[in-house]
Structure 1
């Protein structure tokens, strides 16, 4: 007999709990420039209707609103949406943040001029549903954009290290497959004219050491926090050591601190 398919409802409940654990806002605050740079390359115009899928705390939604776009952000994690609303209010931006699922977007067909997701929709368990929803809610002639971690980059390496100790449910593809150009063409190529490039985003952690960064993610990054919580002490130590080594190998800080380049695949597609 083949492997049993995962219980989708239970899996999504676990994913929501994972992203709500810790405080992702403390991690996202370190990387706001990544979202700003991503949005800058989209050439948004005032009045465009923009959808940010898996918007988190608003790192991509707020820059779009500052450009005059009419922005909606959607995410499964209610606590991240609350932070996004607080940030938007503090900057006097009118952004509509709502709870929702990348695989079942609560919007009419052809609702948005630009639809994007940075390090978000790639984690949904059914990539074919994500691709279909991206196409459905984007207007003909509109743009879809994604920022997806590659398998080779530091985040992709950490995903693989974690999967050694916590194998994913049978039948699920690694999220970093969205960071492979040929896979993206298979998923989106029949609906979009695609342009892709690999981007290196610099991650800076001041005077931290590699293990300090491991501990930072263990405390505040929900998926990492939950992964360690599911392991016994021995395997927690092994996983922490594996991730420490990944950070140490990638460290390019000039004076003994911790920094590295995090590679992702930037996808821009014009809907046919």
Structure 2
């Protein structure tokens, strides 16, 4: 099992993560591009009235809001309060009531077996220590309860975008596992192990047709996506590296473009039950 940072080192790491996801405008990106993922996950888990649901790394409510619309009692947790605040505003506009709580996916402030369903949509994958966050995910769902995850695959567009940015980004913290590993079926099976049954993993794609050019898509991420903003800030004093990363991202987008800047972003949909 990967060692998890403790004490001041862990606090500093989590502070960096909170700050990164508060940069740009991730709530806008989530609503513009990936809102369908939350609805897909809620449907796959058959969430409905009377269920108590936890959304881990919920961001601004991509899955939490449709779960509440389906009639569930929802707790939306995230490390970054700015994202939760954006979610609260969206919920108010929709007339929905959810419980928004700041929480670390690697140390959730909830009791054992507290929820009927625990889920995460391209969120828990960014917690650096996968074994710790997986253990917490399983701990807080009741025996026989449902677990649902959507995560970007390593081979898909988002996984490859993160890999493209990695040489230009600040070094990862000690013991961290790359986020897209959560999109690898065998990795997720190993994380959950015999603590779950009825494990299912399906690769699916999300169509993205909003953009007219690779450059427009690249610049959209540069302005709104925390990991991209941090990466560009890391090389901001080196124009040659900035240009190199600009070109690398355009090449990547072009590789996934099926024509007219239409892309399919691959993700892994995982569902399981906690062993009784």
Are residues 1:144 and 2:147 paired? yes
Match of 2:49 among 46, 50, 53: 46
Q: 160-169 vs 148-157, which deviates more?
A: 160-169
Aligned to 2:122: 119
* Structure 1 Cα separation of the partners of residues 35 and 180 of structure 2: 21
Match of 1:239 among 229, 241, 245: 245
- Provide, for residues 92-132 of structure 1, a one-character-per-residue CA deviation record: whole Å limited to 9, x for no partner: 11111111110111111111000000100111011111111
Aligned to 2:74: 71
Aligned to 2:268: 265
**Normalising to structure 1: TM-score of the pair?**
0.93
Report SS of the residue matched to 2:194.
Answer: coil
* Structure 2 Cα separation of the partners of residues 41 and 145 of structure 1: 8
Aligned to 2:219: 215
Aligned positions, number: 264
Are residues 1:188 and 2:196 paired? no
* Structure 1 Cα separation of the partners of residues 44 and 23 of structure 2: 31
* Structure 1 Cα separation of the partners of residues 15 and 180 of structure 2: 21
Segments of 5+ residues of structure 2 without an aligned counterpart are none
Match of 2:256 among 250, 255, 258: 250
| Aligned pairs (5 A) from 1:143-162 | 143-162=146-165
| Aligned pairs (5 A) from 1:97-108 | 97-108=100-111
Aligned to 2:25: 23
- Provide, for residues 234-272 of structure 1, a one-character-per-residue CA deviation record: whole Å limited to 9, x for no partner: 21211121111111111124xx3x221111111111000
* Structure 2 Cα separation of the partners of residues 270 and 223 of structure 1: 32
Contact 2:145 2:273 in 1 (8 A): yes
Report SS of the residue matched to 2:77.
Answer: strand
* Structure 2 Cα separation of the partners of residues 169 and 242 of structure 1: 24
Contact 2:41 2:148 in 1 (8 A): no
Report SS of the residue matched to 1:19.
Answer: helix
Aligned to 2:173: 169
Aligned to 2:38: 35
CA RMSD in angstroms, aligned pairs only: 1.4
Contact 2:168 2:231 in 1 (8 A): no
* Structure 1 Cα separation of the partners of residues 36 and 153 of structure 2: 19
Report SS of the residue matched to 1:189.
Answer: helix
1:170 Cα deviation after fit: 4.2
